[in-house]
Structure 1
Amino acid sequence: MSKFDSIRPFFDAEANKAILEILDDPMLVAMMEFTFPEDKTGLWKELMRHTHSLRDFQINFIYPGLMKVLERTSDGLSTSGFEQLEPNTAYLFVSNHRDIILDTSLLNACLYENGLVMTTSAIGDNLIKKPFLLTLSRLNRNFAIKRGLKGRELLESSQLASEYIFNSLTHENRSVWIAQREGRTKDGNDLTHKGVLRMLTLAEKGSDPFVYFQKVKLVPVSISYEYDPTDTLKIPELIAKARDEKYIKSENEDFLNLLRGIIGTKKRIHISINGFLNEDIDKIAGQEIPLSEKLSQLAEIMDEKIWAGYRLWPSNFIAHDLLHAKEEFKSHYTEKEKTDFEKRIEAKINSKNPEEVEKYLSMYANPVDNKRKVVTIS
């Protein structure tokens, strides 16, 4: 028994048995028929029966499925900064978070294409309640972050997650992906939560937990979608929070978000690797200040790196101009792009409801305000 059994992905020795258990699941069949539309004889099933490692499962089935998703629902994926990463090296990727599945899957596709170590990736256990999704996530090398805990249970769960991440990085030489905050950023205002950074340090047993960050290779990552495929699904929660009301998810809301993220229109997508923070971390670590202040400084640096690396699209500039009733960024988009975006608003939300319109525009406009805090936008 491993201390991480309650949260870890499958081991390679467990992969084949897990695959055989879901081989005839209707959801897997639908996924593979989408991925391999020319396969009329079910060859994929035979290949799966002889798959015995997570890497083979990811490369032979998840990767081509993802390429098909990009082909059908996007105008392509671009990248920057991957040349800074070295092969056979484990990195702790801390990223802004827009889409439940795609953010990590796209990063791993890029790592694979560049001959780099793919990640074990955090996923909220609320998203993998269904047995099929749990099995699939573990085959895709996800580890579970337990949600909805309080007090001692939360501390123990956070400690376990921290130790698992540190073990992956330092003993297994396995890169790790984790979001900069708990859950997705729904309003487009990407901010690193100190609580996530504090959780990571729990694995460090020394007198100064901040030393943790000197022992790992911390890399801030930005992912930006021209169109967020789940944008309209985020609005009810944003409105509830603005009214200071408690938001209660519908029974299948998480699954609907997951599905919409995969099949929804995205247009262009960009992933940016935003360098290393070694010097910044050493400088912070050398200060005689409380841990809370050190984490605040690190969070600010993370934010600046993620904002600077965020690719702004015409949708962002159009939304900013519409939100503020100006033409400040008119040179960054065409009239056709503006018309298309306005048609999207008409089709997706109640354009007669000012509250909905404001929330919708803000989630696209906020990245513009954040980026120009650190970069001049002409």
Structure 2
Amino acid sequence: MSKFDHIRPFYDSEVNEALRSVAHHPMMKALMSFTFPDVEEPVWIEQLKKTHSKRDFQANFIYNAVHQVLKKSSDGFTTSGFEKLDNHTPYLYISNHRDIILDTSLLNVALLDHGLIMTASAIGDNLVKKTFLQVLSRLNRSFLVQRDLTPRELLQSSKLMSEYIYQMLRRENRSVWIAQREGRTKDGNDATQQGVLKMLAMAAEGVPLMEYFKKMKIVPVSISYEYDPTDALKMPQLLAKANDEVYVKEKNEDFNTLLSGIMGQKKRIHLHVGDVLDTELDAIAAESENNNKQIQSLAQVIDDSILSTYKLWPTNYVAYDLLYNTNQFADKYTEKEKQIFERRMEMRIDVDNKILKEGILNIYANPVVNKLKYSNA
């Protein structure tokens, strides 16, 4: 047994048996009916039973499922930056976090399209409590981030995950995706949590920190959705915080958010991969020998890449002008786009509630605020 067995995806040798175990599950039927609406059930079941690797499952089934999601819930998906990457090199993609499933799924679609190595992806174990979802995530090359642990357990779990990520990158030639923070941003402010970088560094053991990160080939990723389908779902937590109350999640809240993120309307989506961090790490190492300061500087470098390359949409500019009561970006959207944004907001929240209104507007306006630090937006 491997020490990574309780967090790792399936080995290819386990894929066929796993697929056979869920082939007749109602959720698999729903997924396949959605993915291949014109294909009879016996046909896709037969194809599943002939699948023996994670790559085949991703390329022949999940790839098509993501395209169906895009067709039904978006006005198109564009990418940039992939031409800089090497087809045979594994990278550590550190991404801003907008959607639980789609962020990583869209990256893998783009990687497959560009002939690049697809990722193993971190997913919180709280999101895959249902057996079917855990099997599906492991087939889709996800590894589990353990939540709700004691401080001691968290330390052990973080070290294990650090070792596993390094093993995938350096020994298995496998790219890895990880979000820059635990949980999705609730206010549109994308910022790298230093704790994520400290977790990644736990397996460094004696190697100078920036040298270690250099080996990982970090690629910052920025992903932006014109509309966040889960924007209104983030408001109860915001309201609780404003009222100084403890927020308690509903029983199926994570699962419902997951579904809303996948199927809710997003309009346009853009994903950009930044440059591989290299000379920046040399500069950080030369600047200070203190590990904490180096981690702080690395978080800033990742943030600079993500925020400066973030694609802004008319919705972002509309929200900024509404929030700050200005016409500064009136040339970036039409009157019709503004009306549609306001109407959508009215349908999703009580706009007379100042906290809710500002909360929704912040989700869309903060990327503009952040971008202004790097350019004229």
TM-score by length of 2: 0.98
Matched with 2:332 is: 332
Matched with 2:317 is: 317
Quote the offset at 1:229 in angstroms.
1.1
Q: 1:46 to 1:251 in 2, by over 3 A?
A: same
Contact kept in structure 2, 1:204 and 1:211, CA below 8 Å: no
Quote the offset at 1:242 in angstroms.
3.2
Amino acid at match of 1:205: E
- Counterpart CA distance in 1 for 2:208 and 2:269 is 39
- Counterpart CA distance in 2 for 1:55 and 1:191 is 32
Contact kept in structure 2, 1:91 and 1:218, CA below 8 Å: yes
- Counterpart CA distance in 1 for 2:280 and 2:348 is 43
Q: 1:326 to 1:21 in 2, by over 3 A?
A: same
- Counterpart CA distance in 1 for 2:41 and 2:30 is 14
Matched with 2:86 is: 86
Matched, 1:57 2:61: no
- Counterpart CA distance in 1 for 2:104 and 2:242 is 29
Amino acid at match of 1:240: A
Quote the offset at 1:207 in angstroms.
5.8
Alignment of structure 1 residues 155-304 onto 2, 5 Å: 155-206=155-206, 208-304=208-304
Matched with 1:110 is: 110
- Counterpart CA distance in 1 for 2:359 and 2:320 is 12
Q: 1:331 to 1:156 in 2, by over 3 A?
A: same
Amino acid at match of 2:287: Q
- Counterpart CA distance in 2 for 1:279 and 1:306 is 17
- Counterpart CA distance in 2 for 1:23 and 1:325 is 54
Quote the offset at 1:41 in angstroms.
4.6
- Identical positions, percent: 55
- Structure 1 residues 145-169: Cα deviation after superposition (integer angstroms, max 9, x where no partner): 0112232111100000100100000
SS of alignment partner, residue 6 of structure 2: coil
Give ranges in structure 2 of 5+ residues lacking alignment. Answer: none
SS of alignment partner, residue 270 of structure 2: strand
Contact kept in structure 2, 1:223 and 1:269, CA below 8 Å: yes
Quote the offset at 1:42 in angstroms.
3.0
Amino acid at match of 1:342: E
SS of alignment partner, residue 362 of structure 1: helix
Give ranges in structure 1 of 5+ residues lacking alignment. Answer: none
Quote the offset at 1:286 in angstroms.
2.7
Contact kept in structure 1, 2:4 and 2:164, CA below 8 Å: yes
Aligned length, in residue pairs: 377
Contact kept in structure 1, 2:210 and 2:282, CA below 8 Å: no
Quote the offset at 1:325 in angstroms.
1.2
Contact kept in structure 2, 1:229 and 1:260, CA below 8 Å: yes
Matched with 1:71 is: 71
Matched with 1:22 is: 22
- Counterpart CA distance in 2 for 1:288 and 1:374 is 25
Matched, 1:342 2:376: no
- Counterpart CA distance in 1 for 2:162 and 2:241 is 30
- Counterpart CA distance in 2 for 1:62 and 1:214 is 31
Matched, 1:13 2:13: yes
Amino acid at match of 1:198: K
- Counterpart CA distance in 2 for 1:200 and 1:85 is 22
- Counterpart CA distance in 2 for 1:85 and 1:209 is 23
- Structure 1 residues 311-365: Cα deviation after superposition (integer angstroms, max 9, x where no partner): 0000000001111111110000001100110110011111121111110000100
TM-score by length of 1: 0.98
Contact kept in structure 2, 1:203 and 1:212, CA below 8 Å: no
Amino acid at match of 2:231: D
Matched with 2:147 is: 147
Contact kept in structure 2, 1:225 and 1:270, CA below 8 Å: yes
- Structure 1 residues 74-131: Cα deviation after superposition (integer angstroms, max 9, x where no partner): 0000011000111011000000001000000000000000000000000001101110
SS of alignment partner, residue 301 of structure 2: helix
Contact kept in structure 2, 1:202 and 1:209, CA below 8 Å: no
Matched with 1:40 is: 40
